Amino acid sequence: MTRLIIWRHGNTDWNAASRVQGQTDVPLNDLGREQARCAAPVLAGLRPDAIVASDLRRAADTAAALAALTGLPVRTDARLRERHFGDWQGLTLTEVGERFPAEYARWRAGDPDPGARIESLADLGKRLGAAFQDAADLAAGGTVVVTTHGGGARQGVGHLLGWDHAVLRSVGSLANCHWTELRHDDVRGWHLRAHNVGLITQPALTEAV
């Protein structure tokens, strides 16, 4: 059985400000680094065989906290980046609502392709799902930790599980430095074992930021 741990990065100043990051390369803040440091020993206890991370610093630096304990290298994969939020990147959600009211309303209503040059959820799910599968293939029968982003994590998981958009809308976002656990076997294929697991109690911020 293969175990895939999908770990969201730690907190950033843009998370705290509800500013849309998307694929902007924003670093961890002090809280984010502490979250990664606290979570890393728990994940190290799962005895991972490989670590793969988005190449954006907030994810790669979160993964580095686990690598420091396990001695494993961090492989980076640009496909693990967050959803591209087009014209919204760098804006607060309040600014988005003011400047793009129609697109913002569609996004809030769950439109998978709301406009404003935002990557569609279908494309996001395919991109992340393929990256998750390739990461899992690095240690078939073992444990792989993938460090990525909130929105990308949910859509990639949905792609592997075969869940449609309506089902995914009912799944809560990962909090910073929390993770989802998937397992795969030859009989059941991919199945969900745990979601939003972590040490730090906090409200889950929207995956857009």
Residue 94, helix vs strand vs coil:
helix
The kind and range of the H/E element at 33 are helix 30-44
In a 13 Å sphere around the CA of 9, the CA atoms on its Cβ side amount to 35
Q: Across the chain, which distance is largest between two alpha carbons, in Å? A: 50
| Active-site residue, from 9, 149, 159, 178 | 9
Structure token digits, residue 173: 């976002």
First to last CA, the chain: 34
Short-list 17, 19, 182, 159, CA closest to 79: 159
State how beta strands 2-8 and 179-185 pair.
antiparallel
Q: Is 82 a catalytic residue?
A: yes
| Active-site residue, from 82, 103, 119, 207 | 82
Contact criterion met (CB below 8 Å) for 14 and 64: no
DSSP 188: T
Q: Which residues are catalytic?
A: 9, 82
